[in-house]
Amino acid sequence: MNDVLKRYSLLLFSLFVMGLGISAITRSQLGTSAISSVPYILSFIYPLSFGTFTLLTNWLYVFAEIILLGKDFPKKQYLQFILCLFFGFFIDFGMWLLQGVQPATYLAKLVILIMGCLILAAGILMQLKADEVVNPSEGIVKAMASRTGKPFNRIKVIYDFALVAGTIVISWLAFGDIRGVREGTIITAVLVGPFIKLISSGLDKCKKKQTQDAGGL
């Protein structure tokens, strides 16, 4: 029971960290992440917050998972609906927390963007370590990969590209220009994966050293 409680506590904290990371990336003014691009642009068009649109789009992803997987949809993954509520709230909280972040130079924007990528990577790693309920944005990709028989990574690239393309179309139709998608969107896609590996490797080395030190006592 304690182990389950610890894992769900870690999962909840990971959502806060991920929300903070996405908020930092967005506040860098270099574009938001691919997975957040559609909710972000919709928040400019309609009187609902970035976090609220994240909640609504994630709920759509869960419904899509259920349709795609049918009876194969794990019952535990229905908890994704609750996860979405927390994640949407944490994104809005992160945007509020970082509302004073107004980088004046391009270098400052890059620094904030990279910090956001690191924070997001740490949050994703925590969620993976919790090993409980998947994030709907990952769950829908897994469901599509399962149904099509295509590799997860390939589906993920196509999916992210479709989201960015959709954001560009929505932005162009609504404003006549492109908003929410910039070089930071690409940088985020490139950096987050390696950052996850870097943090994971660093933690493994620390654990190994602690084990060796304990064995030497």
Of 8, 12, 40, 89, which is closest to residue 188 (Cα–Cα)?
A: 40
Q: Is residue 195 part of a domain?
A: yes
Q: Quick: pLDDT tens for 41-59.
A: 999 999 999 999 999 999 9
Q: Is residue 215 part of a domain?
A: no
Whether residue 117 is contained in a domain is answered as: yes
Per-residue pLDDT tens digits for 163-196: 999 999 999 999 999 998 999 999 998 898 889 8
In a domain, 47, yes or no: yes
* pLDDT tens per residue, range 21-43: 999 999 999 999 999 999 999 99
The total number of structural domains in the chain stands at 1
In which region does residue 178 sit, left (phi positive, over 0), alpha (psi from -120 to 50) or beta (all else)? Answer: beta
| H or E element in which residue 23 lies | helix 2-27
Structure confidence at residue 171 (pLDDT):
95
Q: What is the pLDDT of the chain when averaged over all its residues? A: 90
**pLDDT for residue 214 is more than 70:** no
CB atoms within 10 A of CB 167: 25
Residue 169 lies in a domain: yes
- For residue range 62-121, list pLDDT tens digits in order: 999 999 999 999 899 999 999 999 999 999 999 999 999 999 999 999 999 999 999 999
96 in a domain, yes or no? yes
Distance, in Å, from the CA atom of 195 to the CA atom of 121, rounded to the nearest integer, reads 6
pLDDT for res 212: 64
Asked if 84 and 124 count as a contact pair (C-beta separation under 8 A), the reply is: no
Neighbours of 159 (CB within 10 A): 18
The total of other beta-carbon atoms located within 10 Å of residue 2's CB is: 6
Distances (CA, A) of 20 to 58, 59, 73, 205: 17, 20, 29, 26
Domain range for 116 is 2-210
Classify residue 216: in a domain, yes or no: no
User: Is residue 217 included in any domain, yes or no?
Assistant: no
Contact 185, 164 (CB under 8 A): yes
Q: How confident is the model at residue 203 (pLDDT cuts 50, 70, 90)?
A: confident
Distance CA 177, CA 190 (A): 25
Give, as one character, the DSSP assignment of residue 139. Answer: H
Residue 26 confidence (pLDDT): 96
Q: What is the DSSP letter of 51?
A: H
pTM of the model as a whole: 0.88
Supply the pLDDT for residue 213: 61
